[in-house]
Amino acid sequence: MSNQSREGTVGFVGLGAMGSPMVANLLKAGHELVVYDIDKAKVERAVKLGAHAGTSAADVARRASKLISMVDTTVQAQDVIVGPGGFIDAVQPGDLVISMSTIDPLALRRMHDALAAKGVDMIDAPVSGLDQGARDGTLKAFVGGDAAALERARPILKDMTAQITHIGGIGQGAAMKLINNLIFQVARVTIAEALVLGTKAGIDPKQLFAVISQATGNSVAFQTAGSRMLARNFAGSRLDSTFKDMELQIQLGKSLQVPMFMTTIAQQVCELGRGAGLGSEDGAAIVKVYEQFARITLGADPQGE
């Protein structure tokens, strides 16, 4: 591959529930893409849409100058970006790495420094909006890193997102995403608790939802999670990912000497759910934990225990 064609190519590693539709949107916008995932079937689906298949993260970096990592965990991101066989093995001075995962802000700083030693820019740009936002291209990106590096990334980010906000230095995009997730994820546990309590008290759950939707208890979290709980729609962002996010939130709090009472309690409720086999279901499935303890199911007769 010539340097000219490499300069015009975007590399993308991580074709999960978020990454695959993000790749589809980049292809629709006309970007030249080379992609990699450990799941070959996901790579094949992207190739059918017009992407080129990479054989490893390092191979992607050999063939593209702007590189995106969209994996689940901090460890996976470190492997992709600075691990053996990762981007760092094949990057060239002047390349740009964009980490779009929700991971440890301190780890992002270490990866940034390792890449900077090779003359490579890095920003973190985790996104909010769940898999639906990834499909619709309505994600919101929270960016940490140098302003000039963000401007280099903007032509790519704008084709996957509807809003790009520069938060500050490297890692602060991830910190913002973790804080946003904290509010949503802790609220989701509270919503499950409230809906089960109301149903157990004899209130029709549909009426409960309708009334709260017009009252002070309403929120985006209530509309999103509450509607899923009532519809028994548990396909989506995994409870395992919620638990991972909460672990990062608590670690960040500890590093800054901030007490994390509510997040710690909510994480333990999520641990109950994971222990009950709900880890691969959407986080709204946490309602099943409350239903089990209350011996009730939303929508069922509260006296039919």
In whole angstroms, give the CA distance from residue 249 to residue 255: 10
Q: What angle, 0 to 180 degrees and rounded to 10, lies between the N-to-C axes of helices 287-294 and 261-275?
A: 70
177 is catalytic: yes
CA distance 6 to 4: 5
d(CA 82, CA 77): 8
Alpha-carbon distances, residue 37 vs 29, 59, 71, 95, 252 (angstroms):
21, 12, 9, 21, 29
CB-count exposure of residue 304 (10 Å: 0-12, 13-18, 19+): exposed
> Tokens for 292?
């089990």
Can you tell me whether residue 125 is helix, strand or coil? coil
CB distance 66 to 8 below 8 Å: no
Report the first-to-last Cα separation within the chain, whole angstroms: 67
Q: With beta carbons less than 8 A apart as the criterion, state whether 260 and 253 touch.
A: yes
Cα–Cα distance measured from residue 35 to residue 132, given in angstroms and rounded to the nearest whole number: 21
Paired tokens of 49: 């849409």
Find the catalytic residue in 177, 200, 254, 288.
Answer: 177
Active site residues: 177
